[in-house]
Amino acid sequence: MVELVEAGGGIVHRQVVLDAGTRPATLRAAIAAGDVRRVCRSWVATPTAPPSLVRAAEVSARLACASAAQHRGWWMPPGTTGRPHLHVRAHAHRPPPSGDIAPPVFHWDAPMVPAHPHALVESVPDALAHIAGCLSYEDALVVWESAVRLERLPLAVLQRYRWNTPAARRLAGDLTGLSDSGIETMFTSRVRGIGVAVHSQVLVLGHRVDGLIGDRLIVQLDGYAFHSSAADRGRDLRHDRELIAHGYTVLRFTYAEVVHHWPRVEAAIVRAIAQGLHLAR
């Protein structure tokens, strides 16, 4: 029975346990032994169940918006995961205060897609719709691109959804599915915002580059996940030297520069373009 609860993410509805053939007496014995614990009257959780899911069960809600994205492992820009987001039924009573340092943000709208009554995390489309309304355009685009990559969402399908806000419809239309990381999405969004066309994940000399401006200006971004070892760094620098030897200009920026020091990144790109370094000679 404990394995069943663990397979369900650490917390499942009591009815799921009983429907799997567990006898009520066996469930009571497991609770008495501390193998699992009861959450409210209807849920069963392991001692290591994610606190966010337990909190959702306590107030008859589902993880929503940024909290659902974080639970699913989507890349979240800094500063977007402070308060928990919970989805409750449209006509439900307001859940009581929990004493949380950061009180939850409640979403009351009807879900876009049917939801299982025992689900503790809202659907991918609903999470995307809520993110479109809660985050800035740039932050939301970063999360949407991450969701496309990690959930393997076809762009054509997302663009056919009946999104109920202009923000969500705009995001669905702007998705490319090309960014390899969150900072790539952030970078391309900001560069295009100043009127510079940039192409993502272009194959140059047998290797993909993070961004290509014009014909000859290449931008490489050092994100945490892909540039974390000395071997990775050596490979990147060898590729930079090869590109330079073939007449390309390479600008390499760190995660911290893109996220926290954008003006210096923008200034470097503008200077390079002013010198014509993006043009074939």
77-110 pLDDT, tens digit each: 998 888 999 999 766 666 655 565 578 899 999 9
**Same domain assignment for residues 40 and 76:** no
Same domain membership, residue 64 and residue 170 = yes
Q: In terms of Cα–Cα distance, which of 196, 158, 152 is closest to 174?
A: 158
What's the structural domain count of the chain? 3
Return the number of other C-beta atoms located less than 10 Å from residue 247's C-beta.
10
Cβ atoms of residues 219 and 211 within 8 Å: yes
Q: What per-residue confidence (pLDDT) applies to 103?
A: 83
pTM score: 0.86
3-class SS of residue 189: helix
Containing structural domain, residue 243: 182-275
On the 0-12 / 13-18 / 19+ scale of CB atoms within 10 A, 65 is: buried
> Cβ distance 175 to 158 under 8 Å?
yes
124 plus 220 within the same structural domain: no
Residue 281 lies in a domain: no
Q: What is the pLDDT of residue 281?
A: 76
| 39 shares its domain with 111 | no
- Do 176 and 184 contact (CB within 8 A), yes or no? no
Does residue 280 lie within any of the structural domains? Answer: no
Note the pLDDT of residue 96.
Answer: 59
CATH code of the domain covering residue 226? 3.40.960.10
The predicted structure's pLDDT at residue 122: 97
**Together in a domain, 160 and 219:** no
Residue segments in the chain with a per-residue pLDDT below the cut of 50: 227
The predicted structure's pLDDT at residue 69: 97
Tokens of 39: 């959450």
Are 163 and 205 contained in the same domain? no
